[in-house]
């Protein structure tokens, strides 16, 4: 890789695509945003390629300096074959051979991973899990998912879908999840599930603190308002927070006992909310995980925070080179 100085990253979302240019030390040279709101791939992919080439040129490199490109995308997808099959937040993107289109358009190797795996890889190469041989990253925002590193490699599973921990059933027979199961971790503890639950439980309670914070509109209830109500001591909010914290601890305990990680990195909620989020989870964790395994596992908020999208695709590219034997961790020093 001596003559290959930079990496291109793409982070495909429902309303935008982030394009970034960086290197294998974690330096980000620049980035761009492309609108992807109900857009067709035939419109967006050429823009992705042209913006990437522009960034390369703008920062004094040539395409010969590009070692690889990486693509981060939500499911559903055939990651092994590089195809976006039917992502839930891109209704016009169906069976798109994204990896091959990017590789052909840029003239370099391209690698494709789901967004939770890319977040794990980003924190592993550049963030809070750097140096760990066994680590888990948990996305904690609208939904819950995981990326898993075991024995120094990303775990993908038989069909490339390892990490769907948001659909561990924690409450048998519980609330209906969009996935078809009942009682999923995500339904009880992710932002979307909590908002739906609060709306259902408080819609006929206009005098509740949360409904007042939402100006009487149950559709405005979200994690941010729940945090406010908890900090203000509202009994409903405090009880819901406590129940949710215990379920987070239950899920994390299952992961600790199953995978024996040395590091668990928690996403958005952990770094955005801080101790109010972390402390009750750590308090309840001994109910669900063995002491010996907890003692060797450090649970920390993500380090890259709002910048993780800039690193996601670059980390996918770097991991592709790592698995191909074209990169070693010595190059991060």
Between CA 50 and CA 29 the distance in angstroms is 17
Between CA 197 and CA 183 the distance in angstroms is 12
Structure tokens at 107: 């003239």
pLDDT value of position 37: 84
pLDDT value of position 2: 46
For residues 105 and 49, is the Cβ–Cβ distance under 8 A? yes
**Topology (CATH) of 131-303:** Nucleotidyltransferase; domain 5 (3.30.420)
Q: Which CATH number, 3.30.420.40, 3.40.50.20, 3.10.620.30, 3.90.700.10, labels domain 6-123+306-332?
A: 3.30.420.40
Element at 16 (helix H, strand E) = strand 16-22
User: Mean pLDDT for each 10-residue chunk of the chain (333 residues)?
Assistant: 79 91 95 90 96 97 97 88 86 93 98 95 97 96 95 90 93 94 97 96 96 97 98 98 98 98 97 98 98 98 95 97 87 64
* Domain limits, the chain: 6-123+306-332, 131-303
CA angle 171, 176, 182 (to 5 degrees): 40
**Residue 25 backbone class (left: φ over 0; alpha: ψ -120 to 50; beta: rest):** alpha
Question: What's the maximum distance between 2 C-alpha atoms anywhere in the chain?
Answer: 65
Fold agreement between 6-123+306-332 and 131-303: yes
pLDDT value of position 159: 79
pLDDT value of position 1: 43
């Amino acid at each position: 890789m001596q003559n290959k100085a930079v990496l291109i990253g793409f982070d495909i979302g429902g309303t935008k695509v982030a394009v970034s240019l960086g290197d294998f030390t974690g330096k980000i040279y620049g980035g761009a945003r492309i609108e992807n709101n109900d857009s067709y791939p035939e419109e967006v992919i050429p823009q992705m390629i042209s913006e990437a080439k522009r960034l390369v040129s703008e920062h004094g490199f040539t395409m010969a300096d590009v070692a690889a490109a990486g693509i981060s995308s939500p499911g559903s997808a055939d990651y092994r074959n590089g195809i976006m099959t039917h992502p839930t937040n891109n209704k016009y993107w169906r069976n798109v051979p994204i990896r091959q289109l990017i590789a052909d358009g840029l003239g370099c190797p391209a690698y494709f991973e789901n967004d939770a795996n890319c977040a794990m890889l980003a924190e592993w190469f550049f963030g809070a899990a750097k140096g760990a041989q066994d680590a888990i990253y948990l996305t904690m925002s609208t939904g819950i998912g995981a990326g898993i590193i075991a024995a120094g490699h990303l775990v993908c599973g038989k069909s490339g879908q390892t990490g769907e921990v948001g659909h561990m059933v924690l409450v048998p027979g519980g609330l209906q999840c969009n996935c078809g199961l009942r009682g999923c971790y995500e339904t009880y503890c992710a932002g979307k599930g909590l908002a739906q639950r609060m709306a259902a439980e408080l819609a006929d309670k206009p005098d509740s603190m949360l409904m007042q914070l939402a100006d009487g509109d149950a559709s405005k209830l979200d994690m941010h308002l729940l945090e406010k109500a908890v900090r203000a001591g509202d009994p409903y909010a405090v009880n819901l927070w406590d129940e949710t914290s215990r379920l987070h601890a239950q899920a994390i305990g299952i992961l600790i006992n199953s995978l024996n990680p040395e590091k668990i990195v928690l996403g958005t909620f952990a770094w955005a909310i801080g101790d109010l989020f972390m402390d009750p989870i750590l308090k309840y964790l001994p109910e669900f995980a063995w002491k010996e395994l907890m003692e060797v596992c450090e649970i920390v908020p993500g380090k890259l925070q709002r910048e993780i999208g800039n690193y996601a695709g670059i980390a996918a590219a770097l991991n592709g080179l790592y698995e191909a034997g074209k990169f070693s961790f010595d190059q991060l020093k």
